[in-house]
Structure 1
Amino acid sequence: MARKDQLTGKGPVFGNNVSHANNKTRRRFEVNLQKKRFYIPEEKRWVTLRVSTQTLKTINKKGIKAVLDEARRQGIRL
């Protein structure tokens, strides 16, 4: 499975490790993904999603229903 946030599509970004001698080698900055179960009372069902911690904070602020509605408007099927 790809290391991507299922709601926002956020994935890893690339950069460099830079040594003391200023040598550069490529590296990946991974997304902090968490597997989380959410209950949607309007649909009377549980949904398991792999979301980033930043998305979890957004869900806590807006609510799971609002975030899912926004994702569905953007074409993400859940």
Structure 2
Amino acid sequence: MARKDDITGRKALNGYRSSKSNNKTKHKFELNLQKRRFYIPEEDRWVTLKVSAKTLRTINKKGISEVLKKARKKGTLLKEV
């Protein structure tokens, strides 16, 4: 399965590492993905999602129901929940 955030759809970025002598080497900046289970009280069930640490902080702040509702409205939800 792709290394993407299930809620926001974010994925790895490409870039360069720069040495002290300013030599550039290609590098992939991966997301800090975490596999977590969330309880959705409206649907009375648990779901397992791969979310980035940034998305996890947003869920802790706003709640899983609100975040899922906004993701569905925006159309970024990768895994149907």
Whether the TM-score (by the shorter chain) exceeds 0.5 is yes
Q: Secondary structure at the match of 1:48?
A: strand
Give the alignment's Cα RMSD to 1 decimal: 1.0
Structure 2, unpaired ranges of 5+: none
% same residue? 60
Quick one: distance in 1 between partners of 2:67 and 2:20? 44
With a CA cutoff of 8 Å and minimum separation of 6, indicate the structure with the bigger relative contact order: 2
Quick one: distance in 1 between partners of 2:66 and 2:10? 19
Structure 1, unpaired ranges of 5+: none
Instruction: Give the TM-score, by structure 2 length.
Output: 0.89
Q: How far is the alpha carbon of 1:73 from its aligned partner? A: 1.2
2:58 alignment partner in structure 1: 58
Question: Is 1:33–2:52 an aligned residue pair?
Answer: no
Structure 1 outlier segments of 4+, above 4 Å: none
1:22 alignment partner in structure 2: 22
